Every structure is written in structure tokens, then in C-alpha cells.
Amino acid sequence: MPITAHMLGQAGEDAALEFLLAQGYALVHRNYRYCRAEVDLIVRLGQELLVFAEVKTRTTVRYGYPEEFVTPRKQELFRRAAEQVQEHLAWTGDIRFDILAITPSSSGLQVAHFEDAFY
């Protein structure tokens, strides 16, 4: 059975979450939706930092690196969703917007983590 775009995206999100958990982050929410925004992963690092992570998975970098596909529109939707989450959680700590770029490698999926990628 061929791998669909949805299956690839799900595998990328799984790899990104596994990567972040191994780095000491704790999962707050996965696939958070607010209006037209979807945040793939919301994680916390300690008690002071909430991270909104966009996961981009590509089968090849032939047409560009995954991180290059986070558009200004997506960034704006992320910001709106972050405001909603902060209000809902009464979050007073810092926030950050990260991108996790996933590409295939000989050993599985390779994760590149771009901290503070926008805003």
C-alpha cells in the first residue's frame, strides 16, 4: 500500500513529538484547533516556557526544505491560536514558535528543530 500524504504527516508528527519528549519537553496538546488555525504540537519546557510547534514533513528537499513552507499566513494563524491557548491556560510564562522539519534519511526520519523560528 502506498504511503499517503496523511500517513507521512502523521509519521512526521510522531517523530517530532518523540524528538521533543527526548529533549525534556512535556506534551500539552496535539493538533490544537482554534478557528482556522491548527497547531501540530504544544509542548512545555519546565514551568516557564510554552512552545507552539509546526511540524513540516517532506519526502524530498528537491522543491525546498520543509521549514520554508511555513507561510506568513500560517504564522499569523499560529499567533492567534497561541493567544487563545495563553488565555485558556492563564499562561504567564514565555512562549516560543518552533518549526520541526522532517525529512527521510537512511535511518528513518530526520528531525531538524528550529527554535524561535518566527515572531
Domain ranges (residues) in the chain: 5-114
User: Tens digit of pLDDT per residue, the chain (119 long)?
Assistant: 667 888 888 999 999 999 999 999 999 999 999 999 999 999 999 999 999 999 999 988 889 999 999 999 999 999 999 999 999 999 999 999 999 999 988 888 899 999 999 97
Bridge partners, residue 25, by sequence: none
Of 54, 57, 49, 25, residue with least CA distance to 37: 54
pTM over 0.85: yes
Q: What is the pLDDT of residue 105?
A: 85
- Give the number of other CB atoms < 10 A from CB of residue 86: 15
CA distances from 67 to 28, 70, 84, 93, 94 (A): 23, 6, 24, 26, 23
For the domain with range 5-114, which CATH number is right: 1.10.3720.10, 3.30.565.10, 3.40.50.300, 3.40.1350.10? 3.40.1350.10
Alpha-carbon dihedral 115, 117, 111, 41, rounded to 10 degrees:
80
- Per DSSP, the residues of 33-55 read EETTEEEEEEEEETTTEEEEEEE
Q: What is the pLDDT of residue 100?
A: 98
